[in-house]
């Protein structure tokens, strides 16, 4: 039996698989923007959902993806996310699950969440981020959220993630797609991958009014961006041979952090 969960406007994460049952979790944003109500917003069609899921399907075939058994996020946590093409330079905070086993969400429209039940960036798997699509200021003014323009990213655009120790990791967009809210694939895109990748999730599509929900409705789609890490060309062999010719031992070189 599918568990029907509350759906709030400007929800930022598609959902996760809970301990005893599969359910889509809609992570709510606390905003209702009248100007967007009932209006269609352009949805992205960069790449395909099949391509995004292909990496996951190879690794995860026959394996449980219970949230309690997810990837342990070893490594430095991310602290900042930069998307130059969208003029986004935002702080990142680590978030997990609340007392109801629902993903926590930032209480600021311009902060990005990184989920600790996903991998840490640079650990060879899928680091999941989310952020607000739209937002209300304390004074009640409706404003776009940090990921309002996420749908504009195209294949090849770059995203930079800065870790707590100052390390910067570059990722290149390989897909930007929209998925209907009820589609179970919203869950699957958040599962571990065989590649070092990040997945960024926000809302999109049409605001569907429904008075049975606390915030008056829900967005029809989730926008999902997948990006894979860009590794700098290896110069290890060249560096080693150059140092040897100069009579310098690599073991004596200072370690840069």
Whether residue 86 is contained in a domain is answered as yes
CA angle 80, 81, 87 (to 5 degrees): 125
Report how far residue 102's alpha carbon sits from residue 213's, in angstroms, rounded to the nearest whole number. Answer: 17
Query: What pLDDT shows up at residue 213?
Result: 59
Whether residue 71 is contained in a domain is answered as yes
Whether residue 204 is contained in a domain is answered as yes
Query: What pLDDT shows up at residue 181?
Result: 86
Whether residue 253 is contained in a domain is answered as no
**Residues near 58 by Cβ (< 8 Å), separated by ≥ 6?**
194
Tens of pLDDT along 175-189?
Answer: 999 999 889 898 899
The one-character DSSP state at 28 is P
Whether residue 254 is contained in a domain is answered as no
| Overall domain count for the chain | 1
Strands 217-229 and 158-163, sheet pairing? unpaired
Tokens of 118: 């996903």
CATH number for the domain harbouring residue 38:
2.40.260.10
Tens of pLDDT along 15-54?
Answer: 333 332 233 333 333 333 333 444 446 899 899 999 999 8
Domain ranges, residue 210:
16-231
């Amino acid at each position: 039996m599918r568990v029907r969960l509350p759906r709030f406007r400007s929800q930022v994460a598609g959902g996760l698989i809970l301990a005893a049952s599969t359910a889509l979790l809609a992570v709510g944003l606390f905003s209702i923007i009248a100007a967007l109500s009932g209006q269609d917003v352009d949805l992205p069609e960069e790449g395909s959902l099949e391509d995004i899921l292909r990496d996951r399907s190879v690794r995860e075939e026959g394996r449980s993806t219970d949230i309690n058994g997810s990837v342990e996020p070893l490594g430095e946590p991310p602290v900042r996310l930069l998307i130059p093409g969208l003029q986004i330079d935002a702080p990142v905070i680590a978030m997990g699950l609340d007392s109801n086993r629902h993903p926590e969400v930032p209480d600021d429209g311009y902060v990005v969440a990184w989920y600790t039940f996903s991998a840490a960036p640079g650990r060879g798997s899928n680091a999941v981020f989310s952020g607000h699509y739209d937002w209300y200021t304390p004074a009640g003014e409706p404003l776009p959220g940090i990921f309002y323009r996420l749908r504009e990213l195209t294949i090849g655009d770059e995203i930079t993630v800065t870790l707590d120790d100052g390390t910067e990791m570059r990722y290149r967009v390989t897909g930007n797609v929209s998925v209907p809210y009820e589609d179970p694939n919203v869950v699957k895109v958040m599962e571990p991958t065989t590649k070092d990748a990040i997945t960024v999730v926000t809302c999109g599509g049409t605001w569907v009014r429904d008075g049975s929900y606390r915030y008056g409705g829900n967005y029809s789609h989730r926008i999902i961006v997948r990006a894979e890490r860009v590794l700098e060309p290896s110069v290890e062999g060249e560096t080693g041979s150059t140092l040897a010719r100069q009579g310098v031992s690599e073991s004596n070189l200072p370690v840069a952090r």
